[in-house]
């Protein structure tokens, strides 16, 4: 094997190794449970799911969430196919078993591919989004 082929073989091996490690780390992060501080788990939603709250929640959801989570919360938005991890199904028992505070925390602070909305959406509007998500049905 000449020097050029050896160099190419080393570069290909290095590339494959980096790709494997990167993919493994992404999978491990995505499969780890999302730890929500107790303060947020027990947090009560300070807003009422009235017509105005649901209207604002729907508008904010459509603008900031639907592209990944889908129009009806099934995780089938237009950007979902390009994500490394499934964005989640808001009609699933796993999602419905979480508290409003957990939903608020995850939306506010994000992780991995889920963006944080801490400085982009007001806390009140995040709570409205939580209210709106409760309207999704199986």
Query: Residue 120 — left, alpha, or beta (φ > 0 → left; ψ -120 to 50 → alpha)?
Result: alpha
Read off the pTM.
0.76
pLDDT per position as a tens digit, 24-46: 444 444 568 899 999 999 999 99
- Which residues of the chain fall short of a pLDDT of 70? 1, 5, 7-31
How far is residue 87's CA from residue 61's CA, in Å, rounded to a whole number? 14
pLDDT of residue 22: 47
**Residue 23: which residues within 8 A CB-CB, separation 6 or more?**
none
How far is residue 112's CA from residue 104's CA, in Å, rounded to a whole number? 16
* Helices and strands, counts by H and E, the chain: 7, 0
pLDDT of residue 25: 42
């Amino acid at each position: 094997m000449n020097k050029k082929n050896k160099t190419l073989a080393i570069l290909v091996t290095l590339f494959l190794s980096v790709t494997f490690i990167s993919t493994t780390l992404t999978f491990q992060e995505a499969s780890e449970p999302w730890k929500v501080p107790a303060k947020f788990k027990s947090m009560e939603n300070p807003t009422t799911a009235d017509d105005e709250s649901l209207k604002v929640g729907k508008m904010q959801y459509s603008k900031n969430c639907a592209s990944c989570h889908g129009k009806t919360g099934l995780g089938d938005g237009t950007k979902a196919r390009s994500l490394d991890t499934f964005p989640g199904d808001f009609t699933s028992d796993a999602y419905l078993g979480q508290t409003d505070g957990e939903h608020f925390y995850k939306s506010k602070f994000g992780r991995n591919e889920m963006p944080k909305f801490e400085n982009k959406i007001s806390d009140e509007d995040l709570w409205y989004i939580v209210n709106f998500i409760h309207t999704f049905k199986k």
